[in-house]
Amino acid sequence: MTETSNELIFHETVQRIQPVDARLLELAVERQRHLTKPEGSLGRLEEVANRCFAIFGGHSFSVSKARIVVFAGDHGVCAEGVNPYPQAVTAQMVMNFVHNGAAINCLAKTCGIELRIVDVGVIGPLPFCAEIVNRNVAHGTRNFCDAPAMTLPEAFAALRVGIDMANDAVADGCTLLGFGEMGIGNTTPASAIAAALTQRPVREVVGRGTGANDDCLRRKISAIERGLALHCEHLKNPLDILRNVGGLEIAAMCGFCLGAAANRRPVLTDGLIATSAAALAVQMQPVVKDYLFAAHTSTEPGHVSLLESTGQQPLLNLGLRLGEGTGVALAMSIVQAAVAAFNEMATFESAAVSVKDTDNPR
């Protein structure tokens, strides 16, 4: 069967992703030894800066121009009563983003970060406005308790949306990328992805999301267990997991993660839902790990297992569970600070500061 253009771009993007040169990491470590500080005294900031140096190929680099892309979509599995909020809230929150009223607007503004809002699967309809990138693939997914959440063409189309948004960010000169989401009910597909990828029992990876009570939580667990059982013969690879139990915004975030890595840009992932997308991207191309930074640890139980699958140690642990890219906005400031120290700090030689006396330790 002939590949569609979306499928072709997906495969080409995956093939473009190259591993970071380990020798550049060694050069970065060596530079850290010459900066005017005790070796290792900046802790994980040194690790972050070293990875960024290697990601940019060892050349002069900056991460001052940062962008977060928030992808929005709705979910058919909400018909199972898995969320305490009506689905209309997805579109309402998208408009709240447009009017700068959401948490991510406040944090992005405070941290000097560009923000883009993308409709990839909102039931809608949303009004036309310049602040929303309209790339709607479908008006929500299907209920994965009854059928695959997406057709294969829909999955590839949503992946393409994310890839395009990463390419656009790089074309606009952005050097630090991050992503978040908005979608009522989307902790349910994210938890289903976590269970499918990690092979852990559903009850171990499912949390209350946006405040589900006990009855809602039971319905959520039941829906995921039934969905995984229905599609068990078609959950053998990350693309099939995404298609059968994922979401359109999750597919777009997965594509964004792949696109960032293909363009050799550091990319930060947010909480449970965003990390489910990143984990799928890592399964599709393990080298994505070289470009990925985990912003924070969510209170959602499935997040830890997904972080383990991506090989990432979070930069922050603030008890966040909002989504929207809020953790990313905060962590981007950490990455920028780490790079500033790496690029701008004087060396012992340039500052005429004496180095540690290793011959006469005290």
pLDDT tens for each residue of 104-122: 999 999 999 999 999 999 9
pLDDT at 163 over 70: yes
Comparing CA positions, the residue from 254, 235, 280 lying closest to residue 71 is 254
- Cis amide bond preceding 153, omega within 30: no
Q: Does domain 5-60+343-351 have CATH number 2.30.30.60?
A: no
Q: List all residues 6 or more positions away from 201 whose beta carbon is below 8 Å from its beta carbon.
A: 195
Lookup: tokens for 314: 């979070």
Mean pLDDT over 123-140 rounds to 94
Task: Using DSSP, state whether 268 is helix, strand or coil.
Answer: strand
**What digits encode the pLDDT tens for the residues 283-297?**
999 999 999 999 999
Q: List all residues 6 or more positions away from 56 whose beta carbon is below 8 Å from its beta carbon.
A: 264
Q: What's the whole-number average pLDDT of the chain? A: 95
Catalytic positions: 324
Distance CA 287, CA 257 (A): 11
Neighbours of 267 (CB within 10 A): 25
What pLDDT is stored for residue 360 in this prediction?
57
Give the domain ranges of the chain: 5-60+343-351, 66-337
What pLDDT is stored for residue 245 in this prediction?
98
- Of 16-25, 125-134, 257-266, 350-359, the range with the lowest mean pLDDT is 350-359
pLDDT at 362 over 60: no
- Of 49-58, 103-112, 343-352, the range with the lowest mean pLDDT is 343-352
Lookup: tokens for 31: 């530079």
Tell me the pLDDT band of 1, cut-offs 50, 70 and 90: very low
pLDDT at 144 over 50: yes
Q: What is the pTM of this model?
A: 0.96
Distance CA 12, CA 159 (A): 12
pLDDT at 59 over 90: no
**What digits encode the pLDDT tens for the residues 299-333?**
999 999 999 999 999 999 999 999 999 999 999 99
CA atoms within 13 A on the CB side of 319: 0
Tell me the pLDDT band of 361, cut-offs 50, 70 and 90: low
**What digits encode the pLDDT tens for the residues 164-212?**
999 999 999 999 999 999 999 999 999 999 999 999 999 999 998 878 8
What pLDDT is stored for residue 358 in this prediction?
59
Give the single-character DSSP code of 238: H
Comparing CA positions, the residue from 67, 28, 68 lying closest to residue 48 is 28
pLDDT at 3 over 90: no
What pLDDT is stored for residue 351 in this prediction?
87
Lookup: tokens for 146: 């009854």
pLDDT at 224 over 90: yes
Q: May I ask the CATH class of domain 66-337?
A: alpha beta
**H or E element that contains 66:** strand 66-73
What pLDDT is stored for residue 246 in this prediction?
98
